[in-house]
Amino acid sequence: MRYNQFMRHQAFVIEAEAEQGIEIAQSWVERELKMKIKGNPDVVVLRHGLLSVEDARGVVDLVAGAAFKGEYKVIIVSASRVYHEAQNALLKIFEEPPPGTYLFLVLPTLGGLLPTLRSRVGIITSDEEKKKNSISPMATEFIKASREKRSAIIKKLTSGKDEEERRERRDEALQIVNGIETTAYQLMRKGGSKAIAGLLSDIAVLRGYLYDRSAPVRMILEHIAIVTPKNLV
């Protein structure tokens, strides 16, 4: 397990599956804060599938309360996905948590994390997760594809015959968008261009619409296909 040296941070994002990420957070708390986890009311674990705006506001309310008995208060939130609006609702408390309060957000991939939130947290990544390719094969195929091939992929993703198939196609579209964002963000860390910065900005806006069942998936993907540079990989 590798932990980044972020003791100056009070807010972290952990890239891992839910239970593994929770264990990582708890181990960090035990080691760095010398807190006992079991039976400690000052260590709160919240498990979500999709983290909604209402869920995020509940976290904000929880953060506002004082610790019950100790010097520190810890809130660990795991989610498979987080709405952009929910991330925005968490932004202020992750940027400036109350004194003595430590926050952890566990996500299976950082691909859907808004750059504004990402820049305000410490990142903790397990070696196991680092070995995994967080970019789906379909995303890799889309990034490397020609414009004509990208159009063929988009056509396939927008041709579901019923609601269940359309939902699956929409999830595949999200995997592509997340993969593009992850790749673009890695390039930005190495000194990306204005085109890459523009791509990240567009994704931050457009991906949120993909969570809507009535989302114009074709229009969104066609736009991203145009603004995604051929030399992204």
Question: pLDDT tens-digit profile of 10-56?
Answer: 999 998 888 999 999 999 999 889 999 999 999 999 999 999 999 99
- What's the CA gap between 121 and 94, in Å, rounded? 7
Region at 34 (left for phi over 0; alpha for psi -120 to 50; beta for the rest): left
Picking from 42, 46, 31, 98, the residue whose alpha carbon sits closest to that of residue 67 is 42
**Dist CA 177 CA 50 (whole Å):** 17
**Does CATH number 3.40.50.300 belong to domain 11-131?**
yes
Q: Which of 14, 20, 16, 23 is nearest to 122 (CA)?
A: 14
Contact (Cβ atoms closer than 8 angstroms) between residue 113 and residue 200 = no
Pick the residue with more confidence: 122 or 133?
Answer: 122
Whole-model pTM above 0.85? no
List the end-to-end C-alpha distance of the chain, in Å, as a whole number. Answer: 28
- What SS3 state is found at 101? strand
Q: DSSP state, 35?
A: -
The amino acid that residue 94 corresponds to is F
User: What tokens were used for 181?
Assistant: 């964002």
pLDDT in tens, 72-106: 999 999 998 898 899 999 999 998 899 999 999 99
Per the CB < 8 A criterion, the answer to whether 72 and 100 are in contact is yes
